[in-house]
Amino acid sequence: MLDSKGFRSVVHDLENNTEEFITALDRIIRHGVSIIKNTGELREEIIDYDDIYQILITDINFNFWFKVSNGTIMYKKGINRGASFRVRYRKDIFIKILKREIYGTDAYMKGKIKVDGDLTQGLRFIKLFRMFIKYINNGIKKL
């Protein structure tokens, strides 16, 4: 089916179609959450987390959030007003991060990403996001 090269190719193909991009991204996120929920070593990685992370892709109005608590993760579309950490992306920057053309920390340092939250939450978000991307790519290879 899809390998990690295929994942990047799919993301690349969807860059110009916002509706298909949102649908595909939603499926990819659900798949990644499922991988984390079903992998003991990944649940252990997030055992100390107790945060809600809001992601806003501002130019396409696609918003979603993760609640990570005691080794569990939940994903929902929309806005969570109780989120303790928020990240704002534009679609093009989010795609570059997914395709590994730029790191989120570099984009943040260049002012391309806006965040609300403290440093500890930011570091946890970075770890969670990197783990998520790594295991999505690995999981897609196994599909």
Distances (CA, A) of 1 to 9, 80, 135, 143: 13, 34, 16, 6
Alpha carbons 94 and 104: distance in angstroms, whole number: 8
- pTM, 2 dp: 0.83
Taking residues 51-64, report their average pLDDT.
95
Burial-class residue 30 by CB neighbours within 10 Å (0-12, 13-18, 19+): exposed
Angle at the Cα of 94 (from 68 to 90), degrees rounded to 5? 110
Question: What residues does each domain of the chain span?
Answer: 4-138
Q: Compute the residue count for the chain.
A: 143
What is the Cα gyration radius of the chain? 14
- Asked if the 4-138 domain carries CATH number 3.30.1050.10, the reply is yes
What integer best gives the mean pLDDT of the chain? 84
Taking residues 56-76, report their average pLDDT.
94
Give 112 or 10, the one with higher predicted confidence.
112
Q: What is the pLDDT, as a whole number, of residue 70?
A: 87
Tens of pLDDT along 9-41?
666 666 778 888 898 889 888 988 888 888 888
Q: Which range, 6-10, 22-26, 88-92, 128-132, is most confident? A: 88-92
State whether residue 2 is helix, strand or coil: coil
Under 8 Å between Cβ of 39 and 131: no
DSSP assignment, residue 60? T
In 10 A of CB 24, how many CB atoms?
Answer: 15
In the chain, pLDDT over 70 holds for what percent of residues? Answer: 84
Alpha carbons 110 and 107: distance in angstroms, whole number: 5
Tens of pLDDT along 94-110?
988 888 889 888 999 99
